[in-house]
A and B are shown apart, each in its own frame.
Chain A
Amino acid sequence: MLQLRELQKTFFAGTPNEVRALRGVSLQIEEGSFVTVIGTNGSGKSTLLNAVAGSFFVDGGAIAIAGRDVTRWPEHRRAAMIGRVFQNPFSGTAPTMTVAENLALAARRGLGRGLGSLLPARLQNELRDRVATLNMQLETRMHNPIGTLSGGQRQALTLLMATWLRPDVLLLDEHTAALDPKSADQIVRLTERIVSQHRLTTLMVTHSMQQAATLGDRIVMMNQGSVLADYAGTLRSHVRAEDLVRRFDEIRRDEQLDASAAEMLRENYV
C-alpha cells in the first residue's frame, strides 16, 4: 500500500523560474491496485513519481510505503521497497555491463553488497530461465553488453529487473513513450502480465489516453500540481479514452478562458 498525504514541492523557490510542481497531492493506493496517472505536460505527474521514488525530498506532506514512513529516506534506501522503470530505455540499465550482470545487480536490490560473487552458477541459470520467459530470444545474449540491445529489449529487461525481487510499489514513468509502436505494445502486454502475475501495487504515468483507459483499475488525472479527477471502482469501469480526451479539452478551454479573461481585465482596468 502507498499513502501520499498533502505532498508539496516547489522547484527554484524564490526565483523568477519558480515552479509549484506539487500543490497538496493526497492519494491512497491499495495493495495490489494498478493506478494510471495522466495529465498535461507540467501537470506534476512525473514529479509525483519522483517524489515517491525519493529523487528529491518533498517540501511538505508525508509518504508511506507498506505502512512505513519513508518521507525522509534517501533514494537508495527507498529502493529496497520500490521497483522503477524510466521513460528513457537507457536510464534503467548499465550499458557496458552484460545482460546477466545487469540482472544480477537487480537481484540484490536493497540487499547488502559484499564480496560474494555477482554471478554464481545457480543464479546464472535462474537468470537465463526468467529471461527466456520474455520470449525475445535474449537468453542467448546473456553475456553481451546490454548497450548493444534495442530500446524495446532494454526496457523489457528493465521491467524484469524492477520486479525481480517483488517491490512494494512499482513505478512506471511513461516507460513506453520512447519506443516504436510495436515495441511499446510489446512492453504494455509484458507490463500487464507481470503486474497481474505478482499482484503488484503499481503507479504508472502515461501520455496515452488509450493506455490509461485500458490498463489498470484506477485513473488519476492531474493538473497544475493537484489531483483533478480520480476514477476508481465502477466509475473507472465506465471511462473510455474519449471521455479522458474530452476532459482534457475542457481543462484547456478553462485555462484559455482564464488567460483571455485576464487579458480583457487588463485592457479595461490597468
Chain B
Amino acid sequence: MSKASEAIAKFIQGRPRFHACATVAENMVKRPVFKCQDCGQCILSYTAFTCCMRCPKQMRNGPCGGTQEDGHCEVYPERHCIWWLIHKRAKWMGRTKKLARLQQPHDWRWEHTSAWLHVFAGELEPPSWGRE
C-alpha cells in the first residue's frame, strides 16, 4: 500500500465517526455477498470467499470433527458445515492450495472494525487474489 493510502486510512481510523462510516460501507458489500461476520481480520481470499467466522466454533484453519457425512454441521444440522462449503468452492475455483495456510490467532480487538482500513493502513496483509 502506498504512503498516501496509509495516511488516509490512519486518519479515518483515528476518528470514530469516520471509522464507523467506513465499517458500514464495507459491511454493505460484504454482509450480503459473503455473509461477512465483521471480524475485522478478513481472510476471505484464503477461504474461497466464504466467511469462516460463520462456523459456531469460529474455526479459521479448517473444520472441526463435527462435519456430518452429508456435509451438514453437527451443531446446527439445518446448515452446511462452513468448511465443507469452503472446500467445495475452493475446489471449484481452483483455490485449494490457499486452504493450507496456517491462519494465526484472531486479534479480537479488531472485531467490528473495517478490515479494508487495516489493509490500507498496512496492519493487515492484502488479500491474496491470484488463483494459484
* A, B in one complex: no
Residues of B within 8 A of A (CB): none
Residues of A within 8 A of B (CB): none
